[in-house]
């Protein structure tokens, strides 16, 4: 009791006030100075320009890095170190750094659980909170956004794009290293399915599961949604050149935060804002880089959302299709390969600037698009081509891993010779009249015909629950999934499950010996590391009246995907007795009633139901799952008017 204080002396000194400040400043601005002094900032340094550092930090680390309280994932575990480095640099430049954070969930941790129902909706929620934090620091001069993973980084990009009148820089949180011996973080997520199917022992599963995240920070080692989002942030010009996919925790990674703080200060000095960087040209460059590296299809949701937040035209599926037809894929990394290089090797091979050097040679870039360096991509690539940094990282890759950089980021002509094909295809058909998406490059070449076309006709195995579907894949049901089946998972779009990822299904099929003989068709979405003949984003979703919600067990589905021309169809062509043309099949499906077991998931949170309704008015999944405020208000007004009529 004797140690309890009831008052204290308070900070010593004086606030640097002036007559003008007391007459003209708001009480909030004046009280902010008092609070700053109360937190221990020197009164003499209070009037420097204020910069806000936002991050997705999670967990609590001791000064030596040991865990006090765990985070949800490695991707937000170390980012506090980046915040500290950026803050120190801002202070050294005479600024006053502020920091806040909005942590993020882990899609890997929530796979196959009800936590996945909050995954995609979380992105919008986090972006809203981040924007509110930005607006709640009235005197901010610029923003640094530190983020790493699947939803936190897209949310950070949405937040900064929505406040693009300020100078802003993204600091990607980098990647965790793969184990020297063992499985990567994508493959290791299939240990349950492989153990049940007798393809690995209990001991091997335990060892692999322990070792996969070889370092304690950064996103996963494959080019999934987290890594692709880092690449896109850089290609948009929002992050410093050669910042995506840096090895988390290492000096080259930490230096990025210091240089990013310097960059935002320079942007403010030059009166350049993010709106000068985020343009139609930068969106084009990001989509071109996405195609070249074979990135996650989840960016088809995030890039349109970033465009919408920035007040730009949202790219459509036709825009994505056009770019993927024109842009070759020439990056060989996990999960699509053909060689399973981890993403840190992509960074060491030169990362985004190296990819863009090749794209410049192919005349596919908008070289006058600005970056957060204040220079155009044309100038940046001229620097990169002759830079000592480029020589250094490529030399490290050769000496440490005995890997040639040009075997990771492959010259496009050589990549074509090695059989690399373009990335994304958008099949249509009587099951998906509004379209669907498949990462065509990820289909196992063994099941692709000699002409480059994947053709599959087989019986539908229909599930309205991912839990039931994975049991059938594992062989834990009376009628397990078998080679030749087409697994149809319905009612898992935004209205049914928040458009959950279904990676536990697609990854199991990738790593089971017979999985290549099974296709997946769903109104859900896929993890960025999913591979195989997996067709998602089927529209309309089942609960919105889509034909996919009328498919029954035993119906015959025909899938055709041309990997060369990026064209495809998904059609219902029979009921197991009668065979129809796709046109006839459309009429038969139209006459059917939806399945009697088609309902939103019983565990779907009310928060997610609200998100699903709002994003549907804003353009739905093909529009980026955004909140289009004008359309939402107009829809509510129309509804109120209709209800008011007698």
Kindly list the catalytic residues: 527
Please provide the size of the chain in residues: 646
Cis peptide before 619 (omega within 30 of 0): no
Distance CA 297, CA 306 (A): 15
Which residues is 128 bridged to in the sheet?
none
Residues 329, 291: contact at Cβ < 8 Å?
yes
Backbone angles phi and psi of 235, in degrees to 5:
-65, -30
Q: 408, 625, 437, 637: which is closest to 537 by C-alpha?
A: 437
Contact yes or no for 410/418 (Cβ under 8 A):
yes
Count the Cβ atoms, other than its own, within 10 Å of residue 387: 16
Kindly list the distances between the CA atom of residue 486 and the CA atoms of 54, 278, 431, 530, 572, in Å, as whole numbers in the listed order: 44, 41, 13, 16, 11
Pairing of strands 67-69, 60-61: antiparallel
3-state secondary structure of 8: coil
| Tokens 């990335």, residue located | 423
Please give the torsion angle defined by the CA atoms of residues 18, 19, 20 and 21, in that order, rounded to the nearest 10 degrees: 50
| Residues sharing a CB contact under 8 Å with residue 30, sequence separation 6 or more, in sequence order | 17, 21, 22
Quote the CA–CA distance of 470 and 459 in Å, as a whole number: 18
Tell me the helices (H) and strands (E) count for the chain, helix number first.
24, 14
Q: 459: how many CB neighbours lie within 10 A of its CB?
A: 17
DSSP annotation of 276: G
């Amino acid at each position: 009791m004797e140690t309890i204080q009831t008052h204290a002396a308070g900070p010593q000194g004086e606030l640097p006030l002036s007559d003008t400040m007391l007459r003209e400043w708001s009480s909030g601005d004046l009280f902010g100075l008092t609070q700053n002094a109360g937190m221990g900032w020197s009164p003499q340094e209070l009037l420097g320009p204020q910069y806000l550092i936002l991050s997705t930090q999670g967990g609590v680390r001791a000064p030596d890095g040991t865990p006090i309280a765990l985070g949800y994932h490695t991707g937000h575990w170390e980012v506090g170190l980046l915040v500290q480095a950026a803050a120190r640099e801002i202070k050294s430049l005479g600024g006053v750094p502020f920091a806040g954070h909005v942590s993020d969930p882990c899609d890997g941790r929530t796979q196959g659980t009800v936590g996945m129902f909050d995954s995609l909706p979380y992105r919008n929620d986090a972006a809203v909170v981040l924007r509110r934090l930005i607006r709640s620091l009235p005197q901010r001069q610029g923003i640094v956004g530190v983020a790493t993973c699947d939803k936190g980084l897209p949310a950070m990009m949405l937040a900064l794009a929505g406040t693009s009148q300020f100078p802003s820089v993204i600091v990607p949180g980098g990647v965790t290293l793969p184990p020297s011996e063992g499985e990567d973080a994508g493959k290791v997520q299939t240990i349950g399915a492989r153990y049940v199917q007798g393809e690995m022992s209990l001991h091997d599963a335990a060892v692999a599961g322990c070792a996969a995240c070889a370092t304690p920070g950064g996103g996963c080692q494959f080019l999934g949604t987290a890594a692709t989002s880092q690449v896109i942030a850089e290609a948009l010009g929002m992050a410093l050149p050669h910042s995506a996919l840096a090895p988390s925790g290492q000096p080259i990674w930490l230096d990025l935060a210091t240089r990013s703080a310097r960059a935002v200060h320079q942007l403010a000095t030059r009166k350049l804002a993010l709106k000068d960087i985020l343009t139609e040209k930068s969106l084009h460059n990001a989509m071109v880089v996405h195609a070249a590296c074979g990135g996650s299809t989840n960016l088809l949701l995030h890039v349109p959302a970033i465009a919408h937040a920035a007040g730009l035209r949202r790219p459509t599926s036709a825009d994505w299709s056009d770019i993927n037809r024109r842009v070759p894929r020439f990056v060989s990394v996990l999960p699509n390969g053909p060689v399973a290089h981890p993403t840190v090797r992509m960074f060491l091979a030169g990362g985004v600037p190296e990819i863009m050097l090749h794209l410049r040679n192919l005349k596919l870039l908008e070289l006058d698009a600005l970056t957060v360096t204040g220079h155009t991509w044309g100038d940046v690539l001229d620097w990169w081509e002759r830079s000592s940094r480029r020589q250094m990282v490529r030399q490290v890759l050769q000496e440490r891993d005995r890997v040639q950089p040009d075997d990771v980021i492959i010259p496009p002509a050589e990549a074509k010779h090695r059989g690399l094909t373009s990335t994304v295809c958008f099949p249509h058909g009587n099951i998906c009249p509004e379209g669907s998406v498949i990462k065509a490059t990820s289909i196992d070449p063994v099941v692709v015909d000699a002409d480059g076309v994947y053709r599959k006709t087989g019986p539908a195995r229909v599930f309205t629950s991912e839990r039931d579907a994975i049991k059938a894949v594992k062989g834990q049901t009376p009628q397990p999934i078998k080679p030749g089946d087409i697994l149809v998972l319905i009612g898992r779009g935004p209205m049914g499950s928040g458009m959950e990822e279904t990676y536990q299904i697609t990854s199991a099929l990738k790593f089971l010996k017979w999985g290549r003989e099974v296709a997946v068709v769903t109104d859900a979405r896929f993890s960025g590391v999913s591979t195989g003949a997996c067709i998602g984003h089927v529209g309309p979703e089942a609960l919105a009246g889509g034909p996919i919600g009328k498919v029954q067990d035993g119906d015959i589905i025909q899938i055709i995907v041309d990997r060369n021309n990026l064209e495809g169809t998904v059609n219902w062509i029979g009921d197991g007795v009668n065979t129809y043309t796709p046109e006839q099949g459309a009429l038969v499906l139209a006459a059917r009633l939806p399945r009697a077991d088609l309902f939103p998931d019983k565990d779907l949170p009310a928060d997610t139901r609200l998100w699903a309704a709002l994003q549907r008015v804003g353009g739905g999944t093909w529009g980026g799952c955004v909140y289009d405020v004008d359309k939402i208000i107009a829809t509510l007004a129309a509804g109120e008017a209709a209800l008011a009529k007698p």
